[in-house]
A and B are shown apart, each in its own frame.
Chain A
Amino acid sequence: MGFDFDVIERSLPYLFRDGMTFTVTLTLLAMTGGIFFGTLLAMMRLSALKLVSMLAGAYVNLMRSIPLVLVIFWFFFLVPYIGAWIFRESQPIKVGAWLSAVITFTMFEAAYYCEIMRAGIQSIARGQVWSGYALGLNYWQTMGQIVLPQAFRNMLPVLLTQTIILFQDTSLVYVISATDFLGAAAKIANRDYRLVEMYSFVAVVYFIISYSLSLLVKRLQDRIAIIR
């Protein structure tokens, strides 16, 4: 059996316009939402209120203890019920694979970003928080203007590395039949019976993107290290 490059060339528009757009949009949305909720979770985990830190800790540990595939299934079936509860419907509302995937990855990654941000916040000297309070700033001002900007900066390389992992992990939406880059390739592969070509191509594309991004992160890391 010869390697058929033609099937790849023919499906390029579909693979990138439909598939890769899905993958990249999902990655960016989940990254933004994940870092936002992750930071909130980190602040909760470091809270002096026992109940708050316990709740956040329980959520983060639960998410980190079960497989992503199972989390994807959980949210895929749970979100319609939560939606019905919020909108006071009597039946589970219809939620497509897309919205379900965005919610899943946001909530799942939040747990991982939380642990990174927690380390980031803890890397800032306590004295800075105290001087913030001494200046008359409240908790949110101290966090927002003193602690978090520095924590982000310190953790930027790790946050970006986590995002590369997120980019790769979005391919697991295959299990809810979403058409991301891998899903699009799988559809062509099965339709034309060209599995070897399509999956090899997918692997090469993922490799090129992830590897380039990781090189960028490495350069950023070196630059930050020199400036400080």
Chain B
Amino acid sequence: MHYSWHWKVLLEAEPGGTGTYLHYLIVGLGWTLATAAAAWVIALIIGALVGTIRTTTSRWAVQLGNLYVEIFRNIPLIVQMFLWFFVVPELLPEALGNWIKQMPPPWGSYLPAVMCLGIFTSVRVAEQVRAGIGSLPRGQRMAGTALGLTQAQAYRYVILPQAFRIILPPLTSETMNIIKNSSVALTIGLLELTGRARAMQEFSFRVFEAFSAATVIYLLTNLVVVVLMRVLEAKVRVPGLIAAGGNAPQAGH
């Protein structure tokens, strides 16, 4: 039993008439990155906000932050995808819901996918931000207060700049996670990289060529992300400030 490889299939034309299969997959990578990048913006903003709120002294704000985190952490990503795609448009005011449902492809899948991934990842960012702030010595906050800074100022000028530098490495893995997780959007019809590899397999019957190509593209993308984040880490490094905290094992994907 053996499988006869036929790599040239990548250079053959795909049935949609947009070009070769390779080109078809690269466009898929484009959609993967476009989804991940937009979702990353949402995740970073909400995650930083919620993570910070959970370290403040306001009890109800902490509780609210915890509730947000628990909700979006305990529902599978694909179920959240379905909620954004099938359920949310029904719950919105009718005109708005219809507008979303009638968006031309791929935007009708893209928008829910970005919202879903953004919120899903914001929870993980919030956890990292909270941990980063928690790893700073208590004296930092006290020194801020002693200098006469308000709580908001202490966060802005003392705590957050240090916390974000500390959590850059885990944020690198979150960047790779958001790229990987965007593949779940194929279940709501977004033709990103994995979705296109699957489609290519169905059109051309070249199963392993399609998945191998997608795998290699994902590996290369990861490599680029790692290099870029290293550059960023080096750029923002404060001389003398050693990143705190070892790499404690974490469950996750």
If over half of B's interface residues share one DSSP class (helix, strand or loop), that class is named, otherwise mixed; here it is helix
Count class of interface residues, chain B: 35 or more
Contact of B76 among A112, A162, A182 (CB under 8 A): A182
Contact B75 A203 (CB under 8 A): yes
Number of A-B contacts (CB under 8 A): 134
Nearest chain A CB to B120 CB, angstrom units: 11
**Cα distance A62–B214 in the bound complex, in angstroms:** 13
Which residue on B lies nearest to A74, using beta carbons?
A: B211
A21 close to chain B: CB less than 8 A? no
**Is there contact, CB below 8 Å, between B87 and A73?**
no
Q: How far is the CB of B109 from chain A (nearest CB, A)?
A: 15
Tell me if A115 is interfacial: C-beta within 8 Å of chain B: yes
Q: In the bound complex, do residue A78 and residue B208 qualify as a contact, i.e. CB atoms below 8 Å apart?
A: yes
Q: Is the CB of B75 within 8 A of A73?
A: no
Q: Beyond A69-B194, A84-B1, A195-B87, is A206–B187 a contact (Cβ under 8 Å)?
A: no
Are A175 and B187 closer than 8 Å at their CB atoms?
A: yes
**Chain A, range 150-198, C-beta contacts under 8 Å to B:** 155, 158-159, 161-162, 164-165, 168-169, 171-172, 174-175, 182, 186, 189, 195-196
Q: How far is the CB of B90 from chain A (nearest CB, A)?
A: 5
In the assembled complex, which residues on chain A have CB atoms less than 8 Å from the CB atom of B82? 186, 195, 199, 202
Give the shortest distance, in Å, between A122 (CB) and chain B (any CB). Answer: 9
Q: Can you give 23 A-B contacts (C-beta < 8 A)?
A: A1-B90, A65-B176, A65-B180, A67-B218, A68-B253, A69-B184, A70-B194, A70-B211, A77-B201, A84-B1, A85-B1, A116-B251, A162-B251, A169-B253, A182-B76, A182-B79, A196-B90, A196-B91, A200-B83, A203-B79, A207-B74, A211-B70, A211-B74
Other than the given A67-B184, A92-B1, A169-B76, 9 more pairs (CB < 8 A) read A65-B176, A67-B218, A73-B194, A77-B201, A77-B207, A158-B251, A165-B253, A174-B187, A199-B86
Closest 7 CB pairs of A and B: A119-B249, A210-B74, A67-B183, A162-B251, A161-B251, A168-B76, A84-B1
Interface residues of B (CB under 8 A from A): 1, 3, 70-71, 73-80, 82-83, 86-87, 90-91, 176, 180-184, 186-187, 194, 197-198, 201, 207-208, 211, 214-215, 218-219, 222, 248-253
